[in-house]
A and B are shown apart, each in its own frame.
Chain A
Amino acid sequence: MKPGGVLKQARTSAPGLLVLIALVVSVATLTIVAVRGHPPVSRAQQVQQIAAGLHCPICKDLSVADSPAPLAQQMRQEIASKLGAGESADQIRADFVAAYGDSVLMSPPRQGLAGAAYYLPWLVLASGLIAAGVLLRRWLRASPPDQAGPVTSELSEAQLRTVANAVAQLRAEEPG
């Protein structure tokens, strides 16, 4: 082994070591967060979170959290009151859906027909990729094989000699 061989090996393995350290730190952080859970959320933040997921029934494209309408204000008060009574966020959302229907949710539910909003884009993307693959395969099969093959000369040996002689003569006549 050359004298600088160990040093060179250490230099080349340094990025790998850094990636390993980063991975260990990330896994450790995620584990700590998962074990400890989220930091405690205040009642006002909980109300805000639930209200942000509900559509103000009398507004256009405004959530209950963002709307200044009196009805939205009353909905926020009702959310706070229900949280105070011990209802979970899911229960509160379910209560509003029971009264107003699925349209009260800012995001469509994943169940039922509305779930298509989540799955349809992926379905369309997969169909597009499959269609593109099928078309590409057909196109490759349809193109004649000699187009992509090596270029071959169709001149006879005598013709090739004539051409070579003519080129040599031209070069000889060139000045300098």
Chain B
Amino acid sequence: MAGVIALVAVIVALLATGLGRDPSVIASPLVGRAAPNFTLPQLDGPSVTLSKLRGQIVVLNFWASWCTECQVEQSALDRTWQQFQDSGVVVIGVDFEDTAGDARNYVRTANVTYPVVEDAGARAALAYGLRGVPETFVVNRSGRIVSHVVGPINAARLGNEINTMLDARSR
């Protein structure tokens, strides 16, 4: 009898641990590892190669023009870009499962100011283990992924994360 009670207690404890988790934070095997490199064409501009941005903090946001949650977070990404672009931070939008025409249209009408690249064939998306949009990866100066957010980003949390990395360098 005592064994059964102990078993039930263990199962309840395991379930309780799972209930306390933030569903937007999915453990990505890429966190802590080198960010997969890519060279992708910008919607309107030269190609972007991730490895050439080594030494800068990169916020990599996978999005699509048809994605409503991406529209929700877009202003926060724009604010982050405006606030940190002179401090060695780059925000890059990676357009996923979209047409270039729709993406260009959205970028123009929503006044997206950070660079947006086109991931035709979803090669970069698959290399980053993407399951949907929006998903955001933060890459540190040495090219390692330090965080992964599924769903719309929280501007304050992203800002704090960037500030922490910037402070670590200035020390």
User: Which residues of A are at the interface with B, using a C-beta cutoff of 8 A?
Assistant: 57-58, 70-71, 74-75, 77-78, 95-101
B107 proximal to A (CB < 8 A): no
- Is B88's beta carbon under 8 Å from chain A? no
Q: Check A58 against B132 for contact (C-beta < 8 Å).
A: yes
Which residues of B are found within 8 Å of A101, using beta-carbon distances? 27-29, 129
Q: For residue B16, which residues in chain A have a CB less than 8 angstroms away from its CB?
A: none
Tell whether B115 is near chain A: CB-to-CB under 8 Å.
no
B residues less than 8 Å from A100 (CB atoms)? 29, 129
- Closest CB-CB distance, B108 to chain A, in whole Å? 25
Cα distance A70–B130 when bound, in Å?
Answer: 12
Interface of B is mostly: loop
B132 touches A99 (CB 8 A): no
User: Do most interface residues of chain A lie in helix, strand or loop, or is the interface mixed?
Assistant: helix
Q: What total of A-B pairs shows CB separation below 8 Å?
A: 40
Q: Name the contact of B29 in the complex, choosing from A75, A77, A98 (C-beta under 8 A).
A: A98
Complex CA distance for A97 and B127, rounded to whole angstroms: 10
Q: Please name the 5 residue pairs, one residue from A and one from B, whose CB atoms are nearest each other, closest first.
A: A99-B129, A74-B122, A100-B129, A101-B29, A57-B131
| B168 located at the interface, meaning its Cβ lies under 8 Å from any Cβ of chain A in the complex | no
Check if B128 is an interface residue, CB within 8 A of chain A.
Answer: yes
15 contacting pairs across A/B (C-beta < 8 A)? A70-B97, A71-B125, A71-B130, A74-B97, A77-B121, A78-B121, A78-B122, A95-B127, A98-B30, A99-B29, A99-B30, A99-B36, A99-B127, A99-B129, A101-B29
Q: How far is the CB of A28 from chain B (nearest CB, A)?
A: 46
Q: Does B123 contact A (CB under 8 A)?
A: yes
CA distance A70 to B122 in the complex (A): 10
Please tell me if the beta carbons of B29 and A58 are within 8 angstroms of each other in the complex. Answer: no
Are A99 and B122 touching (Cβ within 8 A)? no
Interface centre among B121, B122, B132 (most CB of A within 10 A): B122
Chain B: CB-nearest residue to A95: B127
| Set A58, A74, A95: member contacting B121, Cβ < 8 A | A74
Q: Is A75 a contact partner of B126 (Cβ separation < 8 A)?
A: yes
**Alpha-carbon distance A70/B127, docked complex (angstroms):** 16
A71 with B122: CB separation less than 8 A: yes
Q: Which residues of A contact B128 (CB under 8 A)?
A: 99
Measured between alpha carbons, how far is A99 from B26 in the docked complex, in Å? 13
Contact B97 A78 (CB under 8 A): no
Interface string of B124-160 (1 = CB under 8 A from A): 0111111110000000000000000000000000000
Cβ contacts under 8 Å, B30 to chain A: 98-99
Q: Is there contact, CB below 8 Å, between A58 and B131?
A: yes
Q: B126 near A74 (CB under 8 angstroms)?
A: yes
Least CB separation from A70: chain B residue? B97
**Complex formed: what's the CA distance from A98 to B33 in Å?**
10
Kindly report which residue of chain B lies nearest to residue A79, judged by CB atoms: B126
Query: What's the Cα separation between A130 and B33 when bound, in Å?
Result: 46
**What is the distance, in angstroms, from B67's C-beta to the closest C-beta of chain A?**
13
B101 → A minimal CB distance (Å): 18
